[in-house]
Chain A
C-alpha cells in the first residue's frame, strides 16, 4: 500500500462531502424552498469548517478540535432544518465527518465523538421515518468507512516507521563504508610511505654513512655515494608529492565527475604517460555516490597502471549510454599477469567492485600479458 492510496481515499471522502452539500443545496434551490437562505448559510459554515479542518488541520493545531466540534453542531442543525428527503441525504455527511474526527481527535475521544455523530444520525433518520433500514445502513457505512480509514492510517504509520528505519540503516551503512574506506586508505598510505620513502631514506643514510667513512681514504667513492643519495632524494621528493596528491584527490564539488576526471588525468600525465580523457553521449545528472564510485575507480585504475603496468599510454573513456554509464580505463602496459604478486595498494579491485556493486553496477578487467589492461566500470542509468 502506498501513501497515494491513503491520500486518494481521503480525497474521495472530501469530494463526497462537497458533492453531497452542493448537490443537496442545488436540489433545494430547484424546489424554490423558502429555507434556501438559512440552508445556504449553514452549508457554507459546514463546508468552511470541514475544509479548514481537512486541509489546514495541522496548521491550526489544537484549534481544529473546537472547529470540528462546531462543524459537527452545524451539521446536526442542518439535518434538523432541511426537509425530510434532503435531511436523509445530508445525514450521509456523517461519514466524512467521522473520518475527520478520527484524524483530529485522540482515538478514545474520536470513538466517543463518532458514536455521538452516529446517534444523531440515527435519531434524525428515525424521526424522519421510523423505518429501520433507513437508518441502519448509514450507521453501518459510517463505522465501516471509519474502520477502513483507521486501518489504512495505521498501515501508513507502520510503513513510515519502516521507511525511517531503512533510511537510518542506509545512513549508518554509508557511514560504516566511509569509515572502512578511511581505515583502508590509512593502511594503504602507511604501507606506501614504508615501501617508498622510508626505504629510500634508509638506503640514503647508509650511503651517507659509507661516504662519511670513506671521505679521506677514497674521496672519489665518497663523492659517488653522495651523487647516488642526491638522485634518491630527488625521487623521494617526487614520491612525497605524489603521496600528498593521493591524500588530496580531485574534488567532485568543483565541477562534477568530468572535471574531476580531467584533473586526475592531468595529474597522471606528470608521471610520464600520455593520458587521454574521452567523453561520449549526452551527459546526465548523476548521484553523488555514483560520481564518487566512478572517480575512485579511475583513481585506483590509474594508481595500478602507474605502479605495475609500466604503460606509456592510458585512455580514460566515459560513455553516457542510454541504459548505463560506462567508465573504461585502458593502458598499453604489462597486463595483469605481470603483477600477479604485486602488493595491493588498497585501491584494489575487490573494494572497487564492492563499491560499484552496492550501486547496482559492475567492474570487469580484461587483460592479455604484454598487451595492456582494460578496466571497465558500469553503472545503471538511474535518476539520482
Chain B
C-alpha cells in the first residue's frame, strides 16, 4: 500500500513515516504540509492511501476541503483523516467530505494500520474513539450550530453579558440562556470561555 502523508507538522510526518516504514505492506511515497500540494502529489504519485491532517495551518485549504477535492479528482485514492483530537462534528464532516477512515494521532499504532488496511480494502477504517463519537452523535443528536447560535457566540467572544446579547439580538435574556445551554452542549463546553475557545478552534467564529 502506497501512502501519501499530509500534515503541517514535520515531527508528526516523521513519526508516521517511522511507524509505516517498519510495518510490512506499507510504503510512504511522499509527504507534504499543504492541502493544495497534496492534491497535486496525489495526482502525480497515485498513492493507494492519503493520511490527511484536518488542520493545515500554512495552506489555503484545510484537511476537509482537501479530502473533498481528492475524492472528486482521485476517487481511487482513499483518504484516512488523522487528527490530534476529534469532535463529533470533525468526524461527521470528514466522512461527509469523502474520507474512508478516521484515526487519532498518537493512538495505538495497530489502530492506525488497521484503519489504513480497512480503507484500502474498500471499508471505512475508524479508530474506536471516532466510532464512539459517531455513536454519540446518533444516540444524542446535537445538530449543527445554528446561525443564531453563531450570532450569540460572536457576541459572547466580545465579552458581552447575557443582557447585552439579548439587547443586541432583540431577544429576551431567557432566550439567550437557552441558546447558551444548547451551545454548551453542542460544543461540549462547560462555560463561556470554553465555548468561545471551542468555537474558535472549529472556525465557527473568527479569532478576532
Contact = CB atoms under 8 A, between A and B. Distances in A.
Interface string A213-231: 1100110010001001000
B169 interface: no
A69 interface: no
Interface residues of A, number: 47
Nearest to B19: A210
A159 B59 CA distance: 56
B102 to A, nearest CB: 15
Nearest to B109: A209
B207 A225 contact: no
A74 interface: no
Nearest to B21: A210
Contacts of A217: 22
Given A184-B208, A206-B16, A218-B22, A191 B201 contact: yes
A104 B176 CA distance: 49
Contacts of A178: 159
A205 interface: yes
Interface residues of B, number: 38
B196 A344 contact: no
A187 B22 contact: no
Interface stretch (B6-14, B67-75, B122-130, B136-144): B6-14
Nearest to A205: B106
B157 A180 contact: yes
A232 B11 contact: yes
B45 interface: no
B12 A199 contact: yes
Nearest to A214: B22
Contacts of A232: 11
Given A187-B196, A346-B207, A341 B159 contact: no
Contacts of A179: 159
Contacts of B208: 184, 344, 346, 348, 350-351
Contacts of A346: 207-208
A28 to B, nearest CB: 68
B196 A199 contact: no
A348 B11 contact: no
A217 B58 CA distance: 37
Interface of A: 175-184, 186-188, 190-191, 194-195, 198-207, 209-211, 213-214, 217-218, 221, 225, 228, 232, 341-346, 348, 350-351
8 contacts: A180-B158, A187-B207, A191-B201, A194-B85, A202-B15, A203-B105, A206-B106, A210-B15
